[in-house]
Amino acid sequence: MPQNNYDTIINARWIITVEADNEVLENHAIAIKDGRIAAIVPATQAANLTADTVLHLDSHVVMPGLINLHGHSAMTLLRGMADDKALMDWLTNHIWPAEGRHVRDDFVFDGASLAMAEMIRGGTTTINDMYFFHGAMARAGLASGMRTFVGASILEFPTNYGANADDYITRALDERREFLGEERITFTLAPHAPYTVSDATFRKVVTLAEQEDMLIHCHIHETAHEVDSSVAEIGVRPLARLKELGLLSPRLIAAHMVHLNQAEIELVARHGVSIAHNPTSNMKLASGIAPVNALLEAGVNVGIGTDGAASNNKLDMLAETRMGALLAKVGTLNPTAVPAYSAIRMATLNGAKALGIDDKVGSVATGKQADLIAVNLSALETAPAFDPVSHVVYAAGREQVSHVWVQGEALLQDRKLLRQDEQALLARAEDWRHRILAKGE
């Protein structure tokens, strides 16, 4: 019998463990001690345990926190600014000019803070980000309590943050040193994309990643135009080029990967590359439908991301999980493709594996850190609840996320943010709206 006394005991109607396929524990409790899951027991046994906090979530699913495998958090401040445009038009004529006018340290901190509040209220406990002014992103992560992977963007051309690729890398490594030892903050190298990064820079990134034991996060094969342009300009598809440069490895998180042939699917499987699937962004920008079912069948680790709020337009991982399952079905004309439990695994344990933290989080198991969420299925919109797994993927909305914990710390309780001031966040967002409008889009 587990020993008393615990920090928190969560009694739940259902627990989706993501430890084994379709495993759902009914009327069980999770005991948390020092940020970790110390015990998982039937509710009848939990009645004999004591804790500082005891919760009875009698109509809730408790499950691993959602892991957003690809985002640009600060871009919440550009949400809805340039909708219904093609990717390159959106980037070159709207987003990059707006960033040039506004992006600096306070923009990133305020935008990331707003994004993290939105994500936490939607059940996301980890974000794998990619942007600029990395210290601001890390500080926002520490303030919000989220597990934050800070992607250090690298490009060849100048922005407000850096003059060239070497400058981006130098600044990123300098900022990283400030946060070494912070358990919830991890820096990654984030070369933007094959069409914005040179061969020499990619080689430098590969070397640095090995020397510093860092992950690599990059947009790859997002659009047909990207692939066709690479073939026209250098004679090979981007993935073939990156293979020759040594980028393909378990360190790589490849965002999007929409346009892949069978040989490329087999290639990423052989090299242990993880993929961040961004279903809503891919649909909104008309990039296409990623071959997720074929990737999973080939043994590729596929997680789920939201992309940025400027191209989604919301950071809603429950919605992305649903879209990921549905797109896989319509894309293959196979209703059995990516069933609900597989979709949940993509949004949790697969994301953790991509980030190299699946030994810590991503499933509900004794000894793992308590990154957990509770989803209330008592609402009219989710009644009756025959299958909690199906309901989480196909019926529940982010407004039904009632509680969120990271390392056992409550960040959301009964829909209330515990670390962040909602009204202050709204005021800062409105201030930025006025500033952006004053300078034009």
Look-up of token digits 């989080």: 361
Look at residue 211 in the predicted model and tell me its pLDDT.
97
Residue 81 confidence (pLDDT):
85
CA torsion sign for 95, 96, 98, 99 is positive
Q: What pLDDT is recorded for position 86? A: 83
User: What does the DSSP 8-state code read for residue 131?
Assistant: B
Task: Tell me the average pLDDT of the chain.
Answer: 96
- End-to-end CA distance of the chain, in Å? 62
Is the pLDDT at 328 greater than 70? The verdict is yes
**pLDDT value for 254:** 98
What are the chain's domains? Answer: 6-65+361-407 (2.30.40.10), 66-354 (3.20.20.140)
pTM over 0.95: yes
In this model, does residue 201 exceed pLDDT 90?
A: yes
Residue 1 token pair: 């019998």
Average pLDDT over residues 372-391: 97
Residue 94 pLDDT exceeds 90: no
| 181/405 Cα distance (integer angstroms) | 21
- Note the pLDDT of residue 122: 98
55-69, 78-92, 166-180, 198-212: least confident range? 78-92
Confidence at residue 1, expressed as pLDDT on a 0 to 100 scale: 43
What's the mean pLDDT in 250-273? 98
pLDDT in tens, 2-29: 456 999 999 999 999 999 989 999 999 9
Residue 322 pLDDT greater than 60, yes or no = yes
Say whether pLDDT at 399 is over 60.
yes
